[in-house]
């Protein structure tokens, strides 16, 4: 459908952790600021849920031109129906040109549903975004074919243009404490009859905590089939601790029960982009590399000199991982841990 309204500006769906804007939201504000500046648009932030004035004020410091809060009893806890209803009303009130979500549990839940409600398009798991100067369309880049290629998508006939963004793909916005503004409150008047589910109680998800630590870690030490046994991860854990990082594994390591599911890296696991990624005993199948190719540096250790991982790593060692890592750990201790 051809948009009839004047859709303008960039809107970020914000999330709050411990009364402050989440690290992922700061990344969204970083790319949102860049898109807004390059296209002569404004950057807006929307926070749903209970009173979150402290986090809302942070939004100005992280580059938002406008900050909105929507407070309603139905938004006290995250429920898909209530948040979807709220975002539909928010978009209809503000008419943004682009809506940015995080590629996380909430973003993957809300973004496609919102696009369906608004009869517009959505692109999930974007790793690059750019607004075309001539057409004004958002070029939405995402990995395809298991990460072997990237494809550019556009949404020329409907608005808003909705995307989710992969974690650690964009630098977070820098904070400027001198920036301030007036927080605007939106009245949504949500309909309880349209909420088909009910919040009972909240339980801590240890797997989610592990996944968050993995996706935000600067260093990841990952093991695969070549470790041959679960005990091999004790050595990897030692390396990770010395480097201030975390451990992870390939699908084989997860299927063998060596690590929890939340620590799987790959096409069907976590997509990460740490500063340093160690691939220990991992062959380098494209299904695994789809989860770590955005790493700034990849170091491979494998006893098979023909392993595909060496074609995709920046540095590689052919040898027994046990000998190599023990020597590496000893050298780190001698020189002083970089943590």
Domain-by-domain residue ranges, the chain? Answer: 10-194, 206-335
Summarised one tens digit per residue, pLDDT across range 125-168 is 999 999 998 888 999 999 888 777 899 999 999 999 999 999 88
CB distance 75 to 86 below 8 Å: yes
* DSSP type of residue 212: H
What whole-number distance in Å separates Cα of residue 264 and Cα of residue 269?
5
CATH 3.40.50.620 is right for the domain spanning 10-194 = yes
**Which stretches of the chain score pLDDT less than 70?**
1-4, 337-339
pLDDT of residue 98: 97
pLDDT of residue 338: 61
- If you compute the radius of gyration of the chain from its CA atoms, what whole number of angstroms results? 22
Summarised one tens digit per residue, pLDDT across range 90-121 is 999 999 999 999 999 999 999 999 999 999 99
User: What homologous superfamily does CATH list for 206-335?
Assistant: TPP-binding domain (3.40.50.1220)
Which has the closest alpha carbon to 167: 124, 211, 123, 215? Answer: 215
As beta bridge partners, residue 221 has: 247, 278
pLDDT of residue 199: 85
CB distance 25 to 15 below 8 Å: yes
Both tokens assigned to 241: 């601790």
As beta bridge partners, residue 318 has: 302
Within this chain, domains 10-194 and 206-335 share the same CATH topology: yes
Which has the closest alpha carbon to 63: 37, 97, 81? Answer: 37
């Amino acid at each position: 459908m051809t948009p009839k309204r004047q859709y303008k500006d960039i809107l970020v769906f914000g999330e709050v952790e411990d009364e402050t804007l989440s690290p992922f939201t700061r990344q969204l504000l970083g790319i949102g600021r860049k898109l807004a500046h390059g296209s002569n648009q404004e950057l807006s932030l929307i926070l749903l849920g209970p009173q979150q004035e402290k986090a809302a004020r942070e939004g100005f410091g992280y580059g938002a031109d406008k900050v909105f809060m929507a407070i309603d009893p139905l938004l006290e806890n995250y429920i898909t129906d209530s948040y979807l209803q709220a975002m539909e009303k928010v978009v209809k009130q503000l008419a943004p040109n682009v809506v940015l979500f995080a590629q996380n549990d909430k973003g993957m839940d809300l973004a496609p549903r919102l696009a369906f409600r608004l009869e517009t398009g959505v692109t999930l798991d974007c790793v690059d975004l750019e607004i075309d100067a001539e057409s004004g369309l958002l070029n939405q880049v995402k990995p395809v074919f298991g990460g072997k290629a990237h494809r550019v998508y556009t949404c020329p006939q409907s608005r808003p243009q909705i995307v989710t963004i992969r974690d650690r793909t964009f630098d977070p916005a820098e904070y400027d404490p001198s920036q301030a503004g007036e927080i605007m409150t939106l009245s949504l008047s949500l309909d309880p009859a349209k909420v088909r589910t009910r919040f009972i109680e909240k339980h801590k998800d240890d797997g989610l905590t592990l996944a968050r630590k993995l996706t935000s870690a600067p260093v990841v030490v990952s093991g695969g089939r070549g470790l041959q046994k679960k005990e091999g991860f004790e050595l990897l854990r030692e390396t990770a601790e010395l480097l201030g990082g975390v451990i992870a594994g390939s699908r084989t390591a997860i299927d063998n029960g060596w690590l929890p599911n939340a620590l799987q890296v790959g096409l069907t696991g976590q997509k990460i982009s740490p500063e340093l990624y160690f691939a220990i005993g991992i062959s380098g199948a494209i299904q695994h590399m789809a989860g770590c190719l955005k790493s700034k540096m990849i170091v491979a250790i494998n006893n098979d000199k023909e392993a595909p991982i060496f074609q995709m790593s920046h540095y590689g060692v052919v040898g027994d991982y046990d000998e190599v890592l023990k020597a590496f750990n000893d050298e780190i201790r001698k020189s002083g841990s970089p943590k």
